[in-house]
Amino acid sequence: MNVRIEPSILSADFVNLEAEVARIASADAVHVDVMDNHFVPNLTFGPQMVGRLQAVSAIPLDVHLMISDADRWAPGYAELGAFSVTFHAEAATDPVAVARRLREIGSRAGIAVKPGTDLTPYLDLLPEFDQILVMTVEPGFGGQSFMADMMPKVAAARAAIDAAGIDVWLQVDGGISLDTIGEAAEAGADTFVAGSAVYGADDVEVAIGDLRAAAGAHRH
């Protein structure tokens, strides 16, 4: 099974984002964290910045919306041309309708759950999504410690995806490093968001390769 590494530009230099995205050419996607200071207690950027990133990035954008009222706002990010748009289950009134709209526009549709949210109700809806994101920290800030107690949730998602026999990516986001990526891969994740583990490294391309190898060594 493929291992995908997606560096989070939350850990990049915001003044030089075009150059920062160019540095991670071997990554599978750029993870773009959109925060509204409402759904999470932090503010990053919105459609204008994502649109510019879309215009200059040589690799796909995986937009993670940590914003309220996903039903209203998520489709706009798909319209910008993002490869994938992930919204939070806690912020959507009708997650299936949002996912269908994203796909209709042309993006992959992802659904994310916070650490305290039960994933079980969404596992029956798996065919409606292209990606499940299990947060391994509380969303809102980079640099937090990995929550190993989320691994049973990852494992349950992997079992449901495999049982359904469908191609749904299983993503983890939060505290992913060389020390933790193996555990997440062992639990069944195949798509890994890493911020400081990539952008804090002396050589970002080596860091991406090391993370990919470490995850691959633990995949079943």
In the set 28, 33, 62, 210, the catalytic residue is 33
Quote the CA–CA distance of 120 and 125 in Å, as a whole number. Answer: 10
Scanning the structure block, which residue is given the tokens 């992959």? 108
Scanning the structure block, which residue is given the tokens 């650490």? 115
Quote the CA–CA distance of 200 and 198 in Å, as a whole number. Answer: 5
- Which residue from 58, 56, 103, 104 is spatially nearest to 84, judged by alpha carbons? 103
Please check whether residue 11 is in contact with residue 116, taking contact to mean a CB–CB distance below 8 angstroms: no
Specify the DSSP element, H or E, that contains 196: helix 196-199
Quote the CA–CA distance of 82 and 71 in Å, as a whole number. Answer: 17
Give catalytic status of residue 202 as yes or no: no
Instruction: Residue 22: count other Cβ atoms within 10 Å of its Cβ.
Output: 13
Give catalytic status of residue 124 as yes or no: no
Quote the CA–CA distance of 8 and 14 in Å, as a whole number. Answer: 12
Please check whether residue 176 is in contact with residue 143, taking contact to mean a CB–CB distance below 8 angstroms: no
In the set 62, 173, 190, 210, the catalytic residue is 173
Quote the CA–CA distance of 95 and 89 in Å, as a whole number. Answer: 6
**Which are the catalytic amino acids?**
33, 173
